Structure formats: structure tokens, C-alpha cells
Amino acid sequence: MKRFILPFLLLAPIAIWAQETINRAVPPPPGPAKIIEIGKTEKFTLNNGLEVIVVRNTKLPRISVSLTVNRDPILEGNKAGLTSMAGQLLRSGTTTMDKASLDDAIDFLGGNIYASATSIGGASLSSNFKKLFAIIADIVFHPSFSNTQLEKIKKQELSGLAQSKDDPNSIAGNVVSKLLYGANHPYGEIETDSTVKNVSVEDIKTYFSTYWKPNISYLVFVGDITKEEAKELAEKYFGKWQRADVPKPQYPVPSNPAKPIIAIVDRPVSVQSVINFVQTENLKPGEPDVIPVRVMNDILGGGSSSRLFMNLREKHGFTYGAYSAVNPDKLIGSFNAEASVRNEKTDSAIGEFLKEFALIRTTPVSETEVSLAKNTLSGAFARSLENPATVANFALNEAIYHLPADYYQNYLKNIAAVNAGTVMEMAQKYIQPQHMYTVIVGNAKQIVNGLDKYGTVQYYDVEGNAIAAPVIKQIDASITGKSVIEKAAAAMGEAALTNIKDLEISGTAGAMGQTLQFDQKYLLPDYFEQTLSIQGMLLQKQLTKEGTYSVTAQGQEQPLKDDDKEELSESAAMLPEAFYLSKNGYSFTVKDVEPVDGNDAYAVEIKSPRGRVFTNYYDVKTGLKVKSVVEKDAGPAGKLEVQTYYQDYKSYNGLMVPMKTIVDQGKLKIELDVKDVKTNQGLKPTDFK
């Protein structure tokens, strides 16, 4: 066996160390932070003022490019949504290629091209880059601005707005923007159906002709390209671009409230509250406070080891996550801390947020927390340098925000300089609870009691307009949960069940631009089958048969829990309300009277024998079920609130069937339209497979 002999120079230090006593429980002190050597960038400026940045990297035969227009934010007024649609329309074709031809040309080159209101860019293999760059230039200088394409974009925008109106996080975002900045500030504008419809092709043409100018723009190349090659391309395709003065609008500086405001948006169907603590900050990118304030925020609410997260989630179990952020901005920065908590914990959660705000402002943080935050930020910065595009972004930021030339070289050094005293100073300067809005989207009647101790309670609609407090409607003492369910069962055709043996309902389901087919079959007492398919291909199937349950998705059997089986049993009933009443263990509680589609409805909380809890809404006058709300487990994302609306009832042999059902899962909305209903057609057990 061959021996390996260590040289003396390696053995000698070991002998020396052995003579020392080392306390391995105490980590060695960190060395001084090094100045980072950022990758090399090359720059030049065309005669028209277009600044060009080149970052050469030959590891891969690939080149990316981006054109950024550094215009100031603009107020869109009664055409809010114009800029968000402008970028989409820019990418929708040129005078020589419609959208389909444009997409084909880009795909043929194996590349991609994106566009927004302030940028356009793309990437491809080096061998195809000149052709891709020519297409980008064609898009910039010869857009078709098709009215047909704009109408398609508007339709998509309106569809998104329709979904956001019922999304508590989107509602919170609108109200936060309106309160912080005001309607006459570009950051406070809210898109509505009317503002989107107001936008015309001429408006978008005017936008591009006014703001897209070379003297406020930056062209950035990254990849396997030399400065000389980049200059040749820039001169050829962008050298004749005419410079011009660009409007620089001025806006009033938003101010924070003189005292704390609790801004409530009443959303009666909410089973949890979306809470945002917000205020504006006079903090611009590159200012000396930006780096230390990031360290402070990382400790407060920057991630899963932060104080807010550990308090509200780990200690109290109020939420799946609590976070905060301080955002610098060239106009006006902002602070935001947020969480979604159960209704009954709203008051307590607000108290814990305020406790953490006060603590970080008044008590020095530990050295362990400071070190962890600095290591987190330093590590993220170091990892970002592995991407050549990072170097280009640094150069772009330096140009746009007028940063010092050594800003990024000294980044780690400036992080290392932060200490506990700096953290407290940043907290005192940028976290001021006495001048915050606390925006809450939730069920006002369930959460409002006690909130006035935190500030002045005010009410707002979903667009951030001040409104009066909601009127609390009293429920007659004779109305019970069971009486509401009994009335619903009668109104929806319980008596008809003695004459109906089987039922089949079929129709279409629209979701994300796709049209699917659904079919439901019932055979009393306990056969049920529901299928969902597209163009004859089965996507999902649910089956209840002789006490057995199965769910398959794309041919794969799905595991079922006992709760799932109980829910399937309810679905298998032609009339769930009659099922609830016929089975032992269901309990019913009237929680409120709330408007649904403009009519008052009783909100009845139903608890199943297995302890599942959901809420159904029954029209006060007709007794018909008009809505249901249930929380589903969404894994790491927390709870998913599913709202289902039942509309346009029609009678079939005395059984009331909703001809339209809307299932709203927040980001996904499914609309089911019934096309055919058949009763007593002679279905047999063998028809359920």
C-alpha cells in the first residue's frame, strides 16, 4: 500500500495549534468586508443621446438586450390602464407582421422578445441575435397598433379587473394606493372598467411618440458580444432615432396621516382579514440609509426568521406568514407590513404588529440578529453576481438613479458597517406607527369591535373612497339556522324528490379562456358521477357508488381523506339542504344578514358531523341558496377561500336547478352554464362506472 507523506510545512502548523486552547463554542470574529470587484462594463453614447452599456460574457453563445426608457411616472387620469396595455399592444405586431407572424419569426430564431410601457428586450443564440435585434427595432419603430389587438387586450384587462374586485389582496392594494398617494398621484390611480374602456389606439400612439425618446433611454447588451459589435448594431438600428424633450411632470409630495387611521373595507364573505400597515417614506434609491434600512427590515419582517413571522405565525398561530418591506423610490418610498389572519384574531394580530414596531424602535436588537440579517443580505448579493445580467443592472441603476460609481463595489462594506445602534436609528426614522394607515379588508361586523383603541376607524369602498359605516341589520329572534335551511329545502324542491329518481345536468365551463364540458348524473339514493372534459378528453371524474368514493384527475387516482368523502356525499345529494336535515350531526347557525347580488341573504354557518365548517347564503325572500363560502387547504400558501354563486334558477319537475354557477377561487374563476337538464330518464347503477 502506497504511503502519503505530508510535507513539513503542513505538519508544522498542526503542532502549533495543538498547544493552544480553542473555545469552539465562540465563532471567530468576522474579517473586514472586502470591496467587491464588479465585472467590467463598457459604455458609449450615440449622437442622439442613447446610452449603451455592454457586458461581455463568452461562457455561453447567447446574447440578451434590453432597451429601457427612463421616463417619470405619469398621471393617466380617466384613462388609467393606458400604460399597462401599451406594452402589450407594442408586442402585438408591426406594419409588416401581424402578431401571429411576429411570434412565428421569433420562435424560428429560438429567441424571445418582451415589451412593456417602458422597455423592450429579448435574447437568442449569438448566431441569430442580429436578426432578433432587427425584429426588436422593427417593433419599436414600426408598430402596427392594431385596434383589433387593443380590443383583445382590453377584454383581458377587464376580465382581470372583474376577478380582482373579489380578491381581498387586490382590494387592499387599491385602497393602500389611494390612501397613501391620493387619486391625483400616479401611484394612487386605480384602473376601473370605465378607464380601461376609455383608452384608444390614438392614446397609445401619443404615449409612445411623447415618451419613447433616445435621450432618456438606455440600451444594454449582455453576453457573447463585443463593444464594437454592439456599437455597429446600435448605430444601424437606433442611430437615426430622433431625440426630443420629454415632459417631466411634478406631483405634490404625499403626506402621512397626523394620527393613526384604521381603514376598513367591509367584505362580509371574508373568513380572514387582510391587514396592511402602510406609510410613505422619503427614501430614494442609492441614498445612504437604503442599505442599513434593509438590514433593519430583514430583522423586523424580511423572511421566515424575522420577528414578525416568528411572533404572528410561530408563537401565536395567527397567520401563515407576516412580512414587512421598506421600498425606496425616486418619487416617494413606502413602508408596508402585512399578514392575513383569522377574523377572530384581527384585534390581537394588530396589537402584536404594533408591539414589534415599538420594540425595534426602543430596544437594541441582538448582535445575533444583526449578524444573521447582514449575512442574509451579503449572501444574496454575492449570489447575484454569478449572473452576468446583474452587472448590467448595476450599471443601469447607477445611470438611472445617479448612484456613486463605487456604490456596488462598496455594497458589502456598507452592510458590514451596520450595527445594533444603526438598526434602532433606522427603525425610529422609518417606522412611525403614530403616522400609519392600517388597512383591513375583512368582515367589518366581526372584526371592528375594539379596533378604535388603535386609531380612528374609517370605512372605505373597494376603490379607496370614504363611505359611511355599514348598517348592521338585526335578525328576527324567530329566525334560526335550522329554520333557514328548512325554508331553503322547501323552496328548492324537497317535495319533488319523491317523484324524481334520477337526474342529469350537462353544460359548459369557462376558465382561463378555455371552454370545458361538464356532466353530472344522480341516481337516488347514493349514486353520483361528475365529469369534466375538454374536446372529448376526460380531465377529472368524481364518483360515489354504493358507499365507495373515488376521484381521478387526468387518469390518476387521487387519495381521499374522510373529510373528502363526507363532502362527496353532500355533492351526491340532489338537494344538499335536504341531506343536511336528514342526517344526524349537522348544526346550523345564522351568523348575519348580508347582501348577495344586491339582495339580502342569511349567512348560515354549517358544521358537519366531521367538524367541517362552511357558510351558505340563502335569499331572505325566496329562500334559494345564492352563495357558499368554504376554506380549502392550499398547502404552504395557507388557506384558499372558494366562493360559489348560484344564479338563474329554473324548475325541472319541481326541482330548482341553478342554470349558472360561478366558482371564484381568487386568481381562478370558473363559470358553469347549464345547457341541458333531464329527469327520470331511467339511469341504472351500471351507468356509473
The confidence band for 526, taking pLDDT boundaries of 50, 70 and 90, is: confident
Task: Answer yes or no: is 245 within a domain.
Answer: no
C-beta of residue 685 within 8 angstroms of C-beta of residue 545: yes
Q: Which three cell numbers stand for residue 124?
A: 437568442
538 and 508, same structural domain? Answer: yes
Q: How confident is the model over 496-516, as a mean pLDDT?
A: 91
212 half-sphere exposure, CB direction, 13 A CA radius: 26
| pLDDT at res. 37 | 59
Whole-number pLDDT of residue 664:
86
Q: How far apart are CA 337 and CA 319, in angstroms?
A: 13
pLDDT at 452 over 50: yes
What integer pLDDT is reported at residue 473 of this predicted model? 80
* Residues 268, 198 within the same domain: no
CATH number, domain of 613, equals: 2.50.20.10
| In a shared domain, residues 497 and 450 | no
Domain span including residue 356:
261-467
- Pair 504, 620 in one domain: yes
With cut-offs at 50, 70 and 90, classify the pLDDT of residue 40: confident
**308 grid coordinates:** 414578525
Look at strands 437-442 and 261-266 and give their pairing.
Answer: parallel
Residue 678: its pLDDT value, please? 96
Closest Cα partner for 402 from 55, 51, 75? 51
Amino acid in the structure at residue 536? G
Picking from 601, 606, 553, 605, the residue whose alpha carbon sits closest to that of residue 579 is 606
Report pLDDT for 34: 53
Among candidate residues 400, 434, 467, the one where a domain is terminated: 467
Q: Are residues 411 and 490 in the same domain?
A: no
* Segment 366-383 mean pLDDT: 94
169 domain-assigned:
yes
Domain boundary among 432, 467, 502: 467
Q: What is the pLDDT of residue 4?
A: 30
Burial of 258 per CB tally in 10 Å (0-12, 13-18, 19+): exposed
Residue 252 lies in a domain: no
Q: Where residue 634 falls among pLDDT bands split at 50, 70, 90? A: low
Same domain, 438 and 560: no
Cis previous bond, 32, omega within 30: no
Share of the chain above pLDDT 70, in %: 94
Query: Are 427 and 555 in a shared domain?
Result: no
> Is residue 524 a part of any domain in this protein?
yes
User: Interior CA angle at 159 toward 156 and 162, to 5°?
Assistant: 155
Residue 14: its pLDDT value, please?
30
Distances (CA, A) of 654 to 624, 678, 680: 14, 12, 13
Residue 561: exposed, middle, or buried by beta-carbon count in 10 A (0-12, 13-18, 19+)? Answer: exposed
Q: Is residue 244 part of a domain?
A: no
Q: What percent of the chain has pLDDT over 90?
A: 81
Burial (CB count <10 Å: 0-12, 13-18, 19+), residue 630:
middle
Q: What is the mean pLDDT of the chain?
A: 91
Q: Is the pLDDT of residue 269 over 90?
A: no
What angle, rounded to 10 degrees, do the helices at 346-362 and 290-301 form? 140
Residue 223 lies inside a defined structural domain of this protein: yes
Number of domains in the chain: 3
The DSSP string of 455-491 is: SEEEEE-TTS-EEPPPP-PPPPTT--HHHHHHHHHHH
Grid cell 510535507 is found at: 7
- Residue 497 CA to residue 243 CA, distance in Å, equals 77
Domain co-membership, 208 together with 337: no
> Where do the DSSP E strands lie in 461-619?
466-467, 502-511, 514-523, 527-534, 537-545, 548-553, 556-557, 587-596, 599-607, 613-619
If asked whether residues 586 and 523 sit together in one domain, one would say: yes
Q: Are residues 495 and 640 in the same domain?
A: yes
- Whether 104 and 56 share a structural domain: yes
Residue 32, pLDDT score:
56
Confidence of residue 490 (pLDDT cuts 50, 70, 90): very high
For residue 28, pLDDT beyond 60: no
Average pLDDT over residues 228-245: 97
Q: Among 172, 205, 238, where does a domain finish? A: 238
What's the rounded mean pLDDT across residues 436-461? 96
> Are 267 and 416 found together in one domain?
yes
Closest listed residue to residue 163, CA positions, set 183, 191, 199: 191
Single pTM value for the model: 0.79
Structural domain includes residue 34 = no
Average pLDDT over residues 6-35: 43
- Of the pLDDT bands very low, low, confident and very high (cuts 50, 70, 90), residue 139 is very high
Q: Which CATH number fits the domain that encloses residue 112?
A: 3.30.830.10
Residue 16 inside a domain? The answer is no
